[in-house]
Structure 1
Amino acid sequence: MKNVLVLLGIVICMVSASFTEVHAQIVDGAYKRTDISKKKPMPLPPLREADVMWSKKIWRIIDLREKMNQVMYFPTVETEGRNSLVNLLLKGIESGLLTAYDARTDDEFKVPLTYEQVKEAFGATTRTRRVRDLETGEFRDQVITAEIRGEEVKQFMVKEEWYFDKQTSTMNTRIIGICPIQEYYRDEDVNRQNVQRRQVFWVYYPEARDLLASNAVMNPNNIAQSMSYDDLFIKRKFNSYVVKQSNVYNNRAISQYLTGRDAMLESERIEQDIFNYEQDLWEY
């Protein structure tokens, strides 16, 4: 009887191992794709202060509703190991891989936030409101627990510094930080007529590169040529517009002194000034 039980145990183990091996060989596609979860970001060339001949800080907006930028908005729920940019940042903050900084204070990464404080910044808090009971007609307290709605992030602000490196005679840029911008409606705005926007938190980009480099972004035209989020930012595979540049007036934004078409022209002028600075250094 003992020998029968031993033999039965061996058979079960063999069947289980065979099933595990077959399951491990399942490839969801025509070929086995490279796992980039261990991928490291491409090292940036060293930069000395003495080599920087000119520099300017720029703040720009990436609107996720633009077709080119939608790869950062979708998928709104994790799909095939891919996450939207805001959900990826939130996972990094929750796991302790990233530090979030208060966007209400400034954009200089001075005040760190906990994950619970990030939830509060999103408006995902537990609150009580008075509602009328439909059966009794009397008012009672109703507890509402809100959750983070990543799909409400429709824009990202990017803080970067453009500089001319006299050692290599090139104009380059380094991203300093990224900040999700949430669009929402107030509770009293039942008809949803007045959209509200708020900067939720800042993430220091050099700290986030390891996480961004190990997570893929879908190429909608060719899934065989996908890239990481870090590749997307380093290669400038996004569309954006300038909303602020470093200036003597407390780094005021364009919206503080121009509106409408004039603000758009000012944004284009700032971009053109950076281009002209480099071109004016050479003779043709």
Structure 2
Amino acid sequence: MKRYILLLIATFTIATLSAQPPKRRAEDAARSAATRNAPTGVSYRDFPTAQAMPQDVAWRRDLYRVLNLKKDANAVLYYPTTPQDGRENLFTYLFHLLLRRQIKAYDYKLDGNEDFSAANEVTARTLMDRYHIYYEAKDGHLRVNDADLPSEDVKLYYLKESTYYDQHTATFRTKVVAICPVIVRGDSEFGGTDQNYPMFWVRFDEVAPKLGKLMLMESNYNNAATLSADDYFTLGRYEGDIYKAVNLQDRLLSNYCPSDSDMHREQARIEKQLKDVRKGVWGEEPVVKKPEAAATDTAAVAPEAAAPKRRITARRRTTTRTKSPKVSTPSTKEPKSSKTTKAAGFSVRRQRH
């Protein structure tokens, strides 16, 4: 009897599973695959790690840097140039988000300054028409093959960062404000010149939650070590040369640095200013004593250092006085009979009778 009951239960279970709609089965399979392929660890999150910069900071310096992806520190943003094994580079990831309308892109203006207004917003279709990227439009959707994206030509990034001191929390921070991919095309490898084509600006605060899901290879020696793109920018792992410091004249460094050596000196000067401000805030700046102050300090320490010498000198003087011959005077000279007087009460000398 029990065998028949178990057989009936198994039959109804199989019938229920077979009656599940194909669409639901496909959704369950896709959900399971997404769960298996989802990145694991602390880097998988939907929130950014960088703190928002207050508007009333006590000090701030805005800089524009250019990130060369040929440098080892920035190469994690360039490779792989085409998606493979579930990995993709930063430009491919950003452009996919732009195609899905999950982020906004803003046109790169001639003056190079970012403009995050709605009037300056640019669509993915406009960018693909401008830079001759092949795509297909079907039913209002744009489809682009990953091989057609110019991810291999994006060899530079323009980056704007703000270094500031927050007096509310007594912290000194550097925050990325915006990033811009730059297409480099030319024949510099054959003696020609390269041309840079900045594509668009994206606000970092807007893309930071998405960058938390883009995993980058952190080490060439340990391929299992990964780092999210959000952590990469927040922790300042990138290396970039300054090409502009925000100023009243809105000038680039190239506008007043005629040679490469002048440019390097100006970049080093600005970097040193940032370090000096940080040291000044935390009181780490070395104090150079003036000669007068050094003399005063020496005079103040001298009595303490000379105290042991005085004690030694006093001992020497006492010893000298003991060994020196006494000067006899009639008034202080005692009679020789003082010994007899001292021994008058008791004497060990035998007396004659």
Question: What's the TM-score once normalised by structure 2's chain length?
Answer: 0.61
Match of residue 210 from structure 1: 209
Query: % of aligned pairs identical?
Result: 25
Deviations 1:17-53 (A, max 9, x none): 9xx8xx97xx89xxx9627896223444455334x11
CA distance in 2, matches of 1:91, 1:97: 9
C-alpha displacement at 1:246, in angstroms? 0.7
CA distance in 1, matches of 2:43, 2:170: 35
Give the strand-richer structure, 1 or 2. 1
Distance 1:153 1:171, change over 3 A: same
CA distance in 1, matches of 2:52, 2:192: 49
Aligned 8 A contact 1:121 1:200 in 2: no
C-alpha displacement at 1:102, in angstroms? 0.5
Question: What's the TM-score once normalised by structure 1's chain length?
Answer: 0.75
Task: Report the more deviating stretch, 219-228 or 37-46.
Answer: 37-46
Aligned 8 A contact 1:41 1:230 in 2: no
Match of residue 84 from structure 1: 89
Give the helix-richer structure, 1 or 2. 2
Equivalenced residues, count = 245
Aligned 8 A contact 2:69 2:156 in 1: yes
C-alpha displacement at 1:215, in angstroms? 1.3
Instruction: Return the letter of the residue paired with 1:119.
Output: M
Distance 1:224 1:33, change over 3 A: farther
Deviations 1:44-80 (A, max 9, x none): 4455334x11111110111101122111100111122
Match of residue 139 from structure 1: none
CA distance in 2, matches of 1:63, 1:178: 13
Residues 1-284 of structure 1: matches in 2 within 5 Å? 34=40, 39-45=45-51, 47-50=53-56, 52-105=57-110, 106-110=113-117, 111-124=120-133, 147-185=148-186, 193-219=192-218, 220-250=220-250, 252-258=251-257, 259-283=259-283
Deviations 1:159-206 (A, max 9, x none): 1111111223222122110001111139xx9x7722111211111111
Structure 1: state its 5+ residue gaps. Answer: 1-5, 127-145
CA distance in 1, matches of 2:234, 2:273: 21
CA distance in 1, matches of 2:201, 2:122: 10
Match of residue 142 from structure 1: none
Larger Rg: 2
Distance 1:37 1:162, change over 3 A: closer
CA distance in 2, matches of 1:274, 1:254: 17
Structure 2: state its 5+ residue gaps. Answer: 1-10, 19-24, 136-146, 285-353
Give the match's secondary structure for 2:73: helix
Distance 1:201 1:42, change over 3 A: closer
Distance 1:98 1:42, change over 3 A: closer
Aligned 8 A contact 2:49 2:234 in 1: no
Aligned 8 A contact 1:185 1:192 in 2: no
Task: Report the more deviating stretch, 199-208 or 211-220.
Answer: 211-220
C-alpha displacement at 1:108, in angstroms? 2.2
Aligned 8 A contact 1:57 1:160 in 2: yes
Aligned 8 A contact 2:62 2:245 in 1: yes
Instruction: Return the letter of the residue paired with 1:107.
Output: E
Aligned 8 A contact 1:122 1:148 in 2: no
Give the match's secondary structure for 2:231: helix
Aligned 8 A contact 2:48 2:209 in 1: no
Distance 1:210 1:69, change over 3 A: same
